[in-house]
Every structure is written in C-alpha cells, then in structure tokens.
Amino acid sequence: MRSAFLLLLIAVGGLRVFEVPINEAPAGPPLEIRLDGSLEPAREKRIREICAEFPFLERHRTSHFEILSDLDDETIAEHGQLLERTVHAVEDFSRFLGYDVESFPNRQRRHLVLAFSDRNDFIKFAGNHDKINAAWLGGYFAPLSGHLAYHTAANHPDLMRIANRIERAEEGGDDERHQDIRRRMSRFVIQADASVVVHEATHMLLHHFGVAPATSRQPMWLLEGLAGSFEPAEASRRFGPMRPENGRTRDFRKLLREGRVPQLSDLVREREFPKGHQNTQANYATSAALCSWLARYRPRELRRFLDNINNASDQQTPAMDMAGIDDAMEAPVRAGVDWLADFETVFGDIEEIEKTWLRSERAAASLPIANGEFIESWD
C-alpha cells in the first residue's frame, strides 16, 4: 500500500544522509521546522525513485510539507508559506465546525508536494505516476498516492506566447508599456499559483484529516466548493471559508449580476458537474460561494452533512486512519443516492435555503434585491 505521508527524521534526532540535497525553505507561520515523527522507508524509497526520474528536483521542507521542486528559491519559499497558511486555515475551519483538531492522527506529519517549473514535466509525472492526463490541469491531489502535484502558471503556453511577443516587440521600443504588461503578468502568475496551491492543498488536508476524505464520495458541489472557498481573493490576504470573499467571489458575483447563478436544486442533485467550460466555471464559483456561506451561517448543519456522508461511506471516525485507503478508494459509489433529499434532510427546504443564501450574497455584493423578492421579504 502506498501510504500517505513522508517523514524525514530518524528516531535518535539526527538527519539521515540523503542522496538528494535538502534545502530549508522558510515557510512561516510557524517559522520553526518541526522534526518529529518516524521515518517511512517505503515513502523515502519512492522519493528517491522520483528524484532519479527527475534529477533536477530539489528537496525543501516546511513544518508540514516535504516539497520536491525545481522552482527558484524565492518562489518555492512563497509557495511553502502558502501551504503552511493553508494548514492553519483548514484547522481553523475544522475547529469552527466542532472537530477536535488536536486529535487528528495525521496532523503532525509532513505531506508530499511536487512543484514543477515546466508544464511538460508536470504532465509527464502525472501520466507516469498517477495515470492522469494532466494536459488541462494546473495541479491535482492524488488520494491513492497521497501527494499533491502542480506546475507554475508562468509556464502555461498562453503566457509563454505573450512573453515571447513582448520580447520581440521590445526591440521596437515602448518599454514602459511592455514593463506594465510584464507586471500584470507577474501578478496574474502569483495569484494563479496561489489559487492552485491552496485549492489542492485543501483537498489534501481535508482528506488526510478525515473531514472530507476522498473515500466518502462527496458530491462535486461539496468537494470542489470547500476547496474553492479556501482560495485566496489575493495571495497576500488571509483566506478560508469563514471570510466573505475568496478567489471565486468575483466570478460568482458576475453570475449574480447577470442572473446566471445555477439553480441550487440542480447543483446539489447531481454528483458530477455537467460538462462544458462555461457550466463548469459557473458551478465551481457557485459551489465555493455556497460552501463559504454554509460554513459561516450553517456550521452545525454543514458538520452534520459531512458526518452523514462519511458515515454512509463506512468512515469509522471523522479523523480517518489511512490504513486501507487503496481498497476504500476503489469501492463503488453508493447506489441510488438522492443527493437532493440528503441535502434537504440536513439544511431544510432547498428553495428557502436558496432564497436566504442569494439574498445574503446580493446584499454583500451591494446588488438590488432580485425581482419578486422585495414583496416576499415583507411577507
């Protein structure tokens, strides 16, 4: 079985001599490097195999993560900080829902992250190690392998083409305009990377902590909505579902202004999102907004809904032991699940929830009450 963790310290307190150099990347908070736990030889062997296949990867460690990357030191330090901030945000969210965070069995262990500067290397890794066609992905969390992998947005083909055009155009002058474009591209990359890192790390931590494990087969609105609600509105700002804005808020408010928010009953009725780029983006943004609102205004119900899904999937405790994960991941999805009925059993009538939620969202966005709601609000 491929276990979910990477630990690098031998019991006597000294570091083992590794074939691959280790860089200590600053990653506060917290700033200290915690070196507790026992060594996992199988995971250590797999790390060596990965580094043999991708010899340019260097090892960086933070309090909760072991990172293999060829990104520059400044970038990987920033990403390490984002990962650590995600740990704190997920723990804060879990505490707010009433989980005993200190009892999470996987809380003190380091999780494996692979961060690539080259998109092609990322695609190669995903195909070779996780059998994933990652050509359309910025990153992913692999529950069976237990690791997170991503590539920086700076290497996306569209951005590369823009950068190449700027380089050619700079020969003709107008440096100030080109510098402005480069600054905007840099801000875009920082924000895009932050969204991917935090989103996938949230998947990883909610899974490993047992709050929303991949084995529970939760519906897509919950799976992606929770992760999306953690995405930072800005990379430098604090984030998490307890905050009224996240990285998907702008897209959701655009849907709200244009009257294109998916019907809540349609969103929760199906386990998977309907296909189509526009539909997918709308459902991601709506799910993130919904999960954030539920976390802030219906935390007890959200906790009960998560527990119901976990219990129905034969999860013994909210803080899941990783033993047997391979078999659990391969178990079939519950047959005949009525996702809408499950939702209403916990949260109440879906039309009433939808009205209350959207009224709150419109107020937060300083939008007028929707047609027909003014009279209803005075009933």
Give the up-direction half-sphere exposure of residue 239: CA atoms within 13 A in the CB hemisphere.
31
**pLDDT for res 106:** 77
**What is d(CA 361, CA 357) in angstroms, rounded to the nearest whole number?**
6
Strand pairing class (58-61; 65-69):
antiparallel
DSSP assigned state of 13: S
Asked if the peptide bond before residue 30 counts as cis, ω within 30 degrees of 0, the response is yes
**What is d(CA 75, CA 60) in angstroms, rounded to the nearest whole number?**
12
Whether residue 12 is predicted with pLDDT greater than 90 in this model: the reply is: no
- Per-residue pLDDT band for 217 (boundaries 50, 70, 90) equals confident
Contact between 268 and 343 (Cβ < 8 Å): yes
- Per-residue pLDDT band for 366 (boundaries 50, 70, 90) equals very high
Strand pairing class (65-69; 111-116):
parallel
pLDDT, one tens digit per residue, over 81-101 is 999 999 999 999 999 999 999
**What is d(CA 293, CA 126) in angstroms, rounded to the nearest whole number?**
34
**pLDDT for res 123:** 97
Whether residue 36 is predicted with pLDDT greater than 50 in this model: the reply is: no
Whether residue 198 is predicted with pLDDT greater than 60 in this model: the reply is: yes
Global model pTM greater than 0.75:
yes
pLDDT, one tens digit per residue, over 289-298 is 999 999 999 9
Whether residue 269 is predicted with pLDDT greater than 80 in this model: the reply is: yes
| β-strand partners of 66 | 61, 112
Q: Return the minimum-mean-pLDDT range out of 182-191, 248-257, 281-290, 298-307.
A: 182-191
Per the prediction, the chain carries an average pLDDT of: 81
The average pLDDT across 229-248 equals 95
Higher pLDDT, 349 or 14: 349
pLDDT, one tens digit per residue, over 160-184 is 777 677 666 666 666 777 778 778 8
Give the up-direction half-sphere exposure of residue 341: CA atoms within 13 A in the CB hemisphere.
3
Whether residue 314 is predicted with pLDDT greater than 70 in this model: the reply is: no
